Amino acid sequence: MTTREQRKDEHIRLALSHPVTQSSFDGIQLVHRSIPAIKRSDISLETQIDSLTLNFPLYINAMTGGSKWAGEINRKLAIISRETDIAMAVGSMHAALKNEELIPTYRIIREINPHGKVFANIGADVPLSSAARAVDMLTADALQIHLNAPQEVVMPEGGRDFSDWLTNIEGIIRSVDVPVIVKEVGFGMSAETLEQLRGIGVQIVDVSGRGGTNFIYIENERRPQKDQSYLSEWGQTTSVSLLESQPFQQEMTILASGGIQSPLDAIKSIVLGAKAAGLSRAVLTEVETNGLEAAIQLIETFKAHMIDISLILGARNINELHQVPYVLSPELESWQRQRNLKERSK
C-alpha cells in the first residue's frame, strides 16, 4: 500500500472515531409563525446551482477514493445517492490522476449511478490538464476544487506552498466546461476569501465550515508527537461562514457544509442563504456503523423532515426559505457587527 492509500484509510478511520461537537446552528433561531398558510404538496425544494438543477437541496459531500476500502465506501455512497436521488461528490482524485490502477475506486460511482449528479474533486494545486481529466474520468456534472491549507500544515507530509492556488483555480475555471465549486474542507470561509474568489470569476462556493469533521484533529492524530491539538478551533463555523457570505449571495451561489447534523441544521443553512447543504461524516458514520439500508433511511428522513420544517415555516421553495426571519445568538450577532457584515451586504 502506498503512503497516499494508507493516508486515505487513516482519514476514514479517524473520521469514524472523531468526537461530535455542538452544532454551530444552535446560535440561530428561526421565527415561528402560527399560520403557515400553505399545504405540504405546495412545497418543492428543487434548487439551482449555476447551470445545474438539483431535485433536492442536499448532497453527499467529498470524502474518498484511492484505496480498496475507499472504493468500497464509494460504491455504497453511490447506491445511497442513487436510491435517494441526491447529488454526490467523490474525494480528492489525486490518487487516480497519479496511478491509473486506482481509477476504478472513483469510477464506481458513475457505474452505480449512471444518471445521477456527480461531482469530481481535486486540490487547488493540480495542473490544468488534470482538472479536465478528473471531470472526464467520472463524466462529472461539476468539479469541486478543495482548499485545505490548515490540513496541509498539520499533516506531517503535507504541502507548504500555497502561492499559486489562486492563479491555478482561475485557469481551471477557464479550462473545464462544467460548473466549478470551490470548497473548504471544514475550516469555513471569510468575506476576504470570497472577495478573492469572486475576483477570479468563481461563481459557486461551498463554505464548508467548522463544527463537523475537523481535519486539524484528524491530522494531529497522525502526527507522531500529536502536538498541534491547540489549533483544533481554527477557522469559521458554518453558520459564521454563511453570515460572511451574505454580502456575496446576489452574485455567487453559496453551498453549506460542515457539521450539518440534523434536517433543522440543513434548513437553517438555507435560511442563511445557502442553495443546498452537504453531508459527509454523518453519512459515512451511518453507512459504516449501521449499514446501507440505515444510511438510505437517514437521507430519506432528512428529506422528509426538511419538507416538514419548510411547511411549518410557510415556505414553498428555496427562495421563500431565504426570506424566513431569524434571530442570532449574542455571539453570532457580535461577529456580524464586528465584521460589518450587514453594512457590506447593503
| Cα-Cα-Cα-Cα dihedral sign, residues 162, 234, 248, 185 | positive
Select from 52, 54, 189, 284 the one that contacts ligand FMN (CB under 6 A).
284
Closer to ligand FMN by Cβ: residue 8 or 316 = 8
Select from 23, 84, 92, 336 the one that contacts ligand FMN (CB under 6 A).
92
Based on the shown chain and the rule CB under 6 A, indicate whether residue 71 belongs to the binding site for ligand FMN: no
Based on the shown chain and the rule CB under 6 A, indicate whether residue 76 belongs to the binding site for ligand FMN: no
- Shortest distance (Å) from residue 245 CB to ligand FMN: 15
Task: Please count the other Cβ atoms lying within 10 Å of the Cβ belonging to residue 236.
Answer: 23
By CB under 6 A, the count of residues binding ligand FMN is: 27
Long-range CB pairs of 339-344 (<8 Å, 24+ gap) are: 339/191, 339/243, 339/244, 341/191, 341/243, 341/244, 341/246, 341/247, 344/191, 344/246, 344/247
Long-range CB pairs of 129-133 (<8 Å, 24+ gap) are: 130/97, 131/172, 131/175, 131/176, 132/175, 132/176, 133/97
Select from 57, 71, 91, 179 the one that contacts ligand FMN (CB under 6 A).
91
Select from 47, 144, 237, 310 the one that contacts ligand FMN (CB under 6 A).
144
Q: Please check whether residue 154 is in contact with residue 187, taking contact to mean a CB–CB distance below 8 angstroms.
A: no
* Residue 303 among known ligand-binding residues: no
How many angstroms separate the CA atoms of 90 and 121, rounded?
6
How many angstroms separate the CA atoms of 199 and 181, rounded?
15
* Residue 39 among known ligand-binding residues: no
Based on the shown chain and the rule CB under 6 A, indicate whether residue 146 belongs to the binding site for ligand FMN: yes
Q: Which residues from 206-265 bind ligand FMN, rule CB under 6 A? A: 208, 212-213, 257-260
* Pick from 210, 181, 174: nearest CA to 89: 181
Helix H or strand E segment including 271? helix 263-271
* Residue 92 among known ligand-binding residues: yes
Q: Please check whether residue 8 is in contact with residue 95, taking contact to mean a CB–CB distance below 8 angstroms.
A: yes
- Per-residue contact string for residues 179-208; x = within reach of ligand FMN by CB under 6 A: ----x-xx---------------------x
* Residue 281 among known ligand-binding residues: yes
DSSP sequence for 86-133? -EEE----HHHHH-GGGTHHHHHHHHH-TTS-EEEEEETTS-HHHHHH
- Shortest distance (Å) from residue 305 CB to ligand FMN: 17
- Shortest distance (Å) from residue 190 CB to ligand FMN: 16
* Residue 62 among known ligand-binding residues: yes
Based on the shown chain and the rule CB under 6 A, indicate whether residue 107 belongs to the binding site for ligand FMN: no
Helix H or strand E segment including 29? strand 28-30
How many angstroms separate the CA atoms of 167 and 53, rounded?
28
Based on the shown chain and the rule CB under 6 A, indicate whether residue 62 belongs to the binding site for ligand FMN: yes
- Shortest distance (Å) from residue 183 CB to ligand FMN: 5
- Shortest distance (Å) from residue 206 CB to ligand FMN: 7
Closer to ligand FMN by Cβ: residue 117 or 146 = 146
How many angstroms separate the CA atoms of 291 and 135, rounded?
29
Closer to ligand FMN by Cβ: residue 63 or 313 = 63
Residues that bind ligand FMN (CB under 6 A): 11-12, 15, 61-64, 91-92, 121, 144, 146, 183, 185-186, 208, 212-213, 257-260, 279-282, 284
Query: Which residue ranges are tagged as binding site for Mg(2+)?
Result: 152
Annotated binding-site positions for FMN? 62-64, 92, 121, 183, 208, 213, 280-281
Positions at the binding site for substrate:
7-8, 92-94, 151
The binding site comprises 7-8, 62-64, 92-94, 121, 151-152, 183, 208, 213, 280-281
